[in-house]
Amino acid sequence: SESAFLKSLQIVRITVPDQTGVLINQSAVVDQQNDLVTFSVTSPANQTSTVLFDVKRRLICYKPVDQDSCFLRTMEKSDYDNVQSLLHESTQFQLSGNETRRQTEYLGVLAASQVDVSTLEEPLQALCQDSSIHWTRRVEGPGKQRLVYFCIDICFPSNICVSVCFYYLPE
């Protein structure tokens, strides 16, 4: 039923100042029944990227603003810990900038490995319907010759902000 469906969804709003003091607004839709957390991250330029944590299938999907691409990666323990803080939390957070732990993760995009959207389960399929889909893997940091392509900042109630930066790995 519709109301039961809505009850199992809750929206968590998180506001945090970035390094320059500009407030980053994001909201997370928490679907406890299906173990899904969908982040909408709005950049200072007012563009929204989507990041979907599918805890059951241990996948994270990043869909950056303005791009016909989805980037996938497998969840790691730190991702679980961060998302758990959302699955059991209240609905409003104002993180204070000075206590926020900031981390940067680098993900190399495996450009050659295109994923067929029909092999994905919902809700990833819906999110990435008209996109090219690529696996990524965690890398130590961008090498000198690599260009960071873009970053998405995600903040969790545990007062951790992770800047996830993508770049293409040479074939």
Better pLDDT: 94 or 20: 20
* Res 156: pLDDT: 86
Residue 1 pLDDT: 45
What span, in angstroms and rounded, lies between the C-alpha atoms of 66 and 53?
Answer: 20
Q: Which domain holds residue 50?
A: 2-168
**pLDDT tens, 70-120?**
999 999 999 998 888 777 765 666 666 667 788 899 999 987 778 999 999
Q: Domain tally for the chain? A: 1
Instruction: Indicate the average pLDDT of the chain.
Output: 83
Instruction: Please state, for a pLDDT cut of 90, what percent of the chain lies above it.
Output: 29
**Taking 60 as the threshold, does the pLDDT of residue 6 lie above it?**
no
